[in-house]
């Protein structure tokens, strides 16, 4: 029987310390980093710490795992809870041994005073304190694991092929479910021919699903169901070849990010317009979930959602249940880069399980559904203009960005926000996506306000408040586009002034940490050679500093040979973890920058497989070098999203430096270069 | 009933012969290490070795595997051992979410079996049918080259 010493810590008789995290593993390695923090705060051996996945039945509510905030937000309370457990156990040891608590030390899970020793397992049984009432931290925590490259705790299972993903979940008596999505966003079910008796169809309005005993049977059943359904379809989508017009037509919410005083000064005006298309998450695994309705009317859900508590609230609302009748538990999925289909498929599973006679139902989306129905990262369009002095330095800056909102997560905007909800007989429609507030780093306007010391600047966001396209958070939200635009434009200004792009930036930049990452990236890349491009940002204005230098080849297509990045995340919990996140972010940003664009006609999304939505391949992947600029005494910030914008800008600037073509509309394909020349 | 050898063990599969091999492995055989990624043989997540060659198990019917040798990620090395590629992937921490890795390691193992001394270009070419979204490509290439060094020793 485990002894529960705090809301999130329990200790078994075998000495295993279970720590329930409020944050979830998305493939980013956060559970490993949190385990390092917990082990050091406990004075325990890392091998005796087990991280338990987030869950609403017995785990803390720490909101979403998003925004590169997990280490920053979840680290301190976890450290505090673990330190209290350690202090309580040390006090118990001191009582037993008749020594003062100050004489008890703990290292690698062993409490010691002179020759006397005890383990967590020995002491935990006698300690019965809610953590809040336990004595505060006793002794000084020593960093054994924090700051070191501890290997990922979840990788051994994944490398051996052991069951670990939600796709591998096999609940007793489990059925497999498939959903027949409408053929296009505006479609409604017109008619369903009576299904043959052996086809186990679930219908609610335009929501259609089938059940099977195996995945293969469910897939076959889905094919049969498809032939029975007739849909009314409508053209609801904008012109994909003219998204600027669509984004700028409105209606908009105006977002005053920075308001300038007075009129702009006289001087030469330089201006440019940039854009990016809609982007897909395009995780390698389709979204997946499982659900079970119990005889007492309670619902259990297994999900790879980023927020188990938010999902619980949304599910309860759609299904008409009290929150406490729903338990939502996290199971790892494939890489998560934002609000994908994870929450949606959980509702699918709950709806199908409601009609399965009490048997659990496991649901997996198809590749086409994943690419066409998961929320997209919004297309964006931005105008930048600057008034420059005789030396070409910025006297006044103006930036306007048009975008859909970047958040339509469950319960945001006061709606459940789950896909199938909109297809039900009594629908729960989802509204236009909104944006996070300024203190969370904006959405459309994320990183729209540059870190440079401009004497005057006006920065305005324009968020579309009506749209037929569902968009939500995709890694770095608006920052990818805004940094691409700002940093491309800084390059244009530098070149117009005949100045070196690195020196031009430094001349406008007093923040010492910003200057340091720029210099470190430039030095490591051998700045000064022809053909290099540079990009830089401090994520959200208060997160990680990141500078990127790109080296490209432009023959038939643009190919990125090498990326060199410098990053400053303050204190580094796991150096290899940070490197891996920066490398991965840089490679993914390269893919977005060179290749990716969600395609659609006026009726349906047409990029539905890996041919119509290509992503970067092994043969196209650049070498990535990462310089860590360490500030051990500065609180840690997240690294997951810092590279996206700087890499896009560095590539575009390298294209301009190499072939003297300025591409302002992403992706930078052969066609885009030809258009830019024309 | 379809007879085939899976990870060295003769097996009899009861699924319909038209069932995708992937569903047979993950379903009736309980070998969930092979992944469903797209069902269109376009991402490599479902790769298994069929008589030593990497094939997309999502579009390979069970009947095609009749009388042949199938090796999945679980069987790249005997028992609880790891294949040199698996060890090298862990050594290099060449993973983030890890979902693409089964298929990638199957491709890499097939490469090393036919060419124990591949250069970097050969490794990249052998992995080019495998997609990875988290961006660990370069780590994977380093790991496979490292594993090649071990295989030769």
What is the set of domains in chain B, with CATH numbers? 2-75 (3.10.20.30), 84-152 (1.10.150.120)
> Chain-wide mean pLDDT for chain A?
95
> How many whole angstroms separate alpha carbon A61 and alpha carbon A51?
16
pLDDT-derived band at A70, boundaries 50, 70, 90: confident
pLDDT cut 70: percent of chain A above it: 97
Chain A 208-267, residues with CB within 8 Å of chain B CB atoms: 214-216, 219
pLDDT digits (tens, 9 = 90+) for A170-207: 999 999 999 999 999 999 999 999 999 999 999 999 99
Over residues B31-42, the pLDDT tens digits come to: 999 999 999 999
Average pLDDT over residues A599-611: 98
Which CATH code of 3.40.1280.10, 3.40.80.10, 3.10.180.10, 3.30.365.10 fits the domain covering A167-233+284-373? 3.30.365.10
DSSP string, chain B: -EEEEETTEEEEE-S-TTSBHHHHHHTTT--TTSPPS-SSS-S-TTEEEETTEEEETTSSBGGGGTTSEEE-GGGSSSTT---HHHHHHHHTT--SS-TTHHHHHHHHHHHHHH-SS--HHHHHHHHTT---SS--HHHHHHHHHHHHHHHH-
Q: Calculate how close chain B gets to A544, using CA atoms only, in Å.
A: 19
Q: Does B14 touch chain A (CB under 8 A)?
A: no
- From chain B, the residues in CB contact with A340 under 8 A are none
**Over 50: is that where the pLDDT of A236 sits?**
yes
How much is the pLDDT for A1?
44
**CA gap B17, B64 in Å, rounded:** 8
Q: Do A159 and B82 touch (CB under 8 A)?
A: yes
Q: Determine what percent of chain B is predicted with pLDDT higher than 90.
A: 97
The minimum CA-CA distance between A475 and chain B, rounded to whole Å, is 11
- CATH architecture of residue range(s) A3-158: 2-Layer Sandwich (3.30)
Give the E-state strand segments of A529-640 in sequence order. Answer: 532-538, 545-554, 558-568, 623-628
Q: Both tokens of residue B106? A: 């199957």
Strands A175-180 vs B2-6: parallel, antiparallel or unpaired:
unpaired
Partners of residue A610 in chain B, C-beta under 8 Å: 38, 40, 42-43, 131
A3-158 and A167-233+284-373: identical CATH topology: yes
pLDDT at A129: 57
Token duo for residue A130: 């809610």
Q: Which residues of B touch A168 (CB under 8 A)?
A: 32
Question: CA of A208, closest CA in chain B: separation in Å?
Answer: 21
**Is residue A50 over pLDDT 90?**
yes
Report the C-alpha gap between A187 and A599 in whole angstroms. 18
Whether A241 shows a pLDDT value over 60: the answer reads yes
Mean pLDDT (chain B, rounded): 96
- In chain A, whose CA is at the least distance from the CA of B59? A216
Q: Which residue has the higher pLDDT, A76 or A226?
A: A226
Task: Identify the CATH number of the domain defined by range A250-278+376-406+443-677.
Answer: 3.30.365.10
As a whole number, mean pLDDT of residues A521-546 equals 97
The pLDDT confidence band at residue B153, using thresholds 50, 70 and 90, is very low
Q: Which of B36, B96, B101 sits opposite A167 (nearest CB)?
A: B36
Contact with chain B for residue A336, Cβ under 8 A: yes
pLDDT tens digits, A434-449: 999 999 999 999 999 9
Bridge partner list, A382: A274, A401
Summarize pLDDT for A395-431 with one digit per residue, the tens: 999 999 999 999 999 999 889 999 999 999 999 988 8
Residue labelled with tokens 């649901």: A363
Are A484 and A291 in contact by the 8 Å Cβ rule? The answer is: no
Tokens of A187: 């479609």
Structure-model confidence comparison of residues A486 and A77, the more confident one = A486
Task: Tell me the shortest Cα–Cα distance from B19 to chain A, in angstroms.
Answer: 7
Q: Where are the domains of chain A?
A: 3-158, 167-233+284-373, 250-278+376-406+443-677
Whole-number Å distance between alpha carbons of A518 and A81 = 38
Give the best residue of B40, B60, B127, B133 to mutate against chain A (max A CB count within 10 A): B133
Question: With an 8 Å Cβ cutoff, are A215 and B125 in contact?
Answer: no
Q: What is the pLDDT of residues A571-604, one digit of tens each?
A: 999 999 999 999 999 999 999 999 999 999 999 9
Between CA A215 and CA A50 the distance in angstroms is: 32
Q: What pLDDT score does A166 carry?
A: 98
Chain A: nearest CA to B128, how far in angstroms? Answer: 5
Which of B82, B89, B138 faces A623 most closely, judged by CB atoms? B138
Cβ of A151 within 8 Å of Cβ of B39? The answer is no
Contact B36 A286 (CB under 8 A): yes
Number of helices (H) and strands (E) in chain A: give both, helices first: 15, 25
Q: How many CA atoms lie within 13 A of B55 on its CB side?
A: 20
Name every chain A residue with its beta carbon within 8 A of the beta carbon of B82: 159-160
Asked whether the beta carbons of residue A216 and residue B19 sit closer than 8 angstroms, the reply is yes
Q: Which of A27, A30, A161 to mutate to test the interface with B (most CBs of B within 10 A)?
A: A161
Q: Is B7 on the interface with A (CB under 8 A)?
A: no
How sure is the predictor about A73, in pLDDT bands with cuts at 50, 70 and 90?
confident
Q: Average pLDDT in the B31-54 region?
A: 98
Is the pLDDT confidence value at A136 over 60?
no
- pLDDT surpasses 80 at A135: no
The string of pLDDT tens digits covering residues A476-485 is: 999 999 999 9
Instruction: Inform me whether the C-beta atom of residue A414 falls under 8 Å from chain B C-beta atoms.
Output: no
Answer whether A511 touches B (CB < 8 Å).
Answer: no
pLDDT at A553 over 70: yes
């Amino acid at each position: 029987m485990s002894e529960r010493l705090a809301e999130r810590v329990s200790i078994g008789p075998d000495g295993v310390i279970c720590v329930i995290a409020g944050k979830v593993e998305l493939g980013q390695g956060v559970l490993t980093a949190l385990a390092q923090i917990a082990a050091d705060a406990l004075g325990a051996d890392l091998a005796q710490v087990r991280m338990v996945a987030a869950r609403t039945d017995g785990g803390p509510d720490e909101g979403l795992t998003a925004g590169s905030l997990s280490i920053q937000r979840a680290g301190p309370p976890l450290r505090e809870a673990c330190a209290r457990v350690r202090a309580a156990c040390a006090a118990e040891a001191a009582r037993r041994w008749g020594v003062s608590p100050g004489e008890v030390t703990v290292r690698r899970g062993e409490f010691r005073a002179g020759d006397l020793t005890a383990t967590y397992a020995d002491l935990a049984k006698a300690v019965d304190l809610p953590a809040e009432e336990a004595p505060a931290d006793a002794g000084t925590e020593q960093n054994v694991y924090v700051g070191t490259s501890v290997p990922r705790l979840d990788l051994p299972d994944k490398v051996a092929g052991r069951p670990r993903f939600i796709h591998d979940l096999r609940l007793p008596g489990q059925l497999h479910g498939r959903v027949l999505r409408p053929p296009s966003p505006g479609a409604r079910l017109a008619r369903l021919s009576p299904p043959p008796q052996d086809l186990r169809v679930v219908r609610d309005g335009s929501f259609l699903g089938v059940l099977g005993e195996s995945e293969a049977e469910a897939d076959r059943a889905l094919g049969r169901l498809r032939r029975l359904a007739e849909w009314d379809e409508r053209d609801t989508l904008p012109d994909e070849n003219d998204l600027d017009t669509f984004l700028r037509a409105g209606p908009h919410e105006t977002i005053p990010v920075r308001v300038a005083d007075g009129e702009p000064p006289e001087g030469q005006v330089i201006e440019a317009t940039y854009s990016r298309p809609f982007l897909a998450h395009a995780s390698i695994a389709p979204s997946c979930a499982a659900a079970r309705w119990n005889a007492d009317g309670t619902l259990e859900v297994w999900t790879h959602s980023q927020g188990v508590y938010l999902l619980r609230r949304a599910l309860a609302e759609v299904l008409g249940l009290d929150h406490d009748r729903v338990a939502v538990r996290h199971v790892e999925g494939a890489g998560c880069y934002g609000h994908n289909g994870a929450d949606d498929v959980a509702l699918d599973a709950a709806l199908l399980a409601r009609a399965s006679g009490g048997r659990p139902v496991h649901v997996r989306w198809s590749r086409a559904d994943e690419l066409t129905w998961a929320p997209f990262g919004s297309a964006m369009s931005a105008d930048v203009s600057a008034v420059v002095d005789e030396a070409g330095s910025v006297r006044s800056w103006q930036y306007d960005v048009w975008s859909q909102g970047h958040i339509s997560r469950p319960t945001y905007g006061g709606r459940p926000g789950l896909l199938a909800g909109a297809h039900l007989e009594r629908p729960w429609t989802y509204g236009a996506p909104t944006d996070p507030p300024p203190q969370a780093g904006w959405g459309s306007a994320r990183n729209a306000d540059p870190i440079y010391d401009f004497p005057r600047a006006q920065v305005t966001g324009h968020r579309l408040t009506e749209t037929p396209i569902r968009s939500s958070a995709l890694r770095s939200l608006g920052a990818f586009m805004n940094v691409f635009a700002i940093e491309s434009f800084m390059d244009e200004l530098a070149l117009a002034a005949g100045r070196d792009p690195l020196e031009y930036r430094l001349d406008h930049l007093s923040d010492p940490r910003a200057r340091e990452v720029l210099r470190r990236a430039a030095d490591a890349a051998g700045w000064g050679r022809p053909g290099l491009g540079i990009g830089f940002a401090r994520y959200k204005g208060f997160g990680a500093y990141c500078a990127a230098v790109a080296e490209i080849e432009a023959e038939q297509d643009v190919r990125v040979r090498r990326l060199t990045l410098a990053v400053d995340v303050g204190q580094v919990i796991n150096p290899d973890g940070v490197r891996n996140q920066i490398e991965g972010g840089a490679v993914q940003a390269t893919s977005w920058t060179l290749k990716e664009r969600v395609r659609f006609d006026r009726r349906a999304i047409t990029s539905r497989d890996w041919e119509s939505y290509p992503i970067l391949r092994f043969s196209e992947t650049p070498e990535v070098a990462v310089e860590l600029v360490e500030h051990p005494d500065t609180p840690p910030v997240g690294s997951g999203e810092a590279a996206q914008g700087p890499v896009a800008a560095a590539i575009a600037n390298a294209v301009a430096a190499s072939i003297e073509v300025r591409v302002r509309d992403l992706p930078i394909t052969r066609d885009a270069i030809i258009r830019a020349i024309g | 009933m379809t007879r085939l050898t899976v990870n060295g063990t003769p097996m009899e599969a009861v699924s319909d012969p038209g069932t995708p091999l992937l569903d047979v492995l993950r379903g009736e055989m309980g070998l969930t290490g092979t992944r469903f990624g797209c069902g269109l043989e376009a991402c490599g997540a479902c790769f298994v070795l069929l008589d030593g060659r990497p094939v997309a198990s999502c579009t390979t019917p069970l009947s095609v595997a009749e009388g042949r040798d199938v090796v999945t990620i679980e069987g790249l090395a005997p028992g609880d051992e790891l294949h040199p590629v698996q060890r090298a992937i862990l050594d290099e921490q060449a993973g983030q979410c890890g979902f693409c890795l089964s298929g990638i390691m199957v491709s890499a193992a097939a490469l090393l079996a036919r060419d124990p001394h591949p250069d970097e270009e050969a490794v990249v070419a052998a992995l080019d049918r495998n997609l990875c979204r988290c961006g660990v490509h370069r780590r994977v290439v380093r790991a496979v080259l490292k594993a090649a060094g071990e295989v030769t020793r």
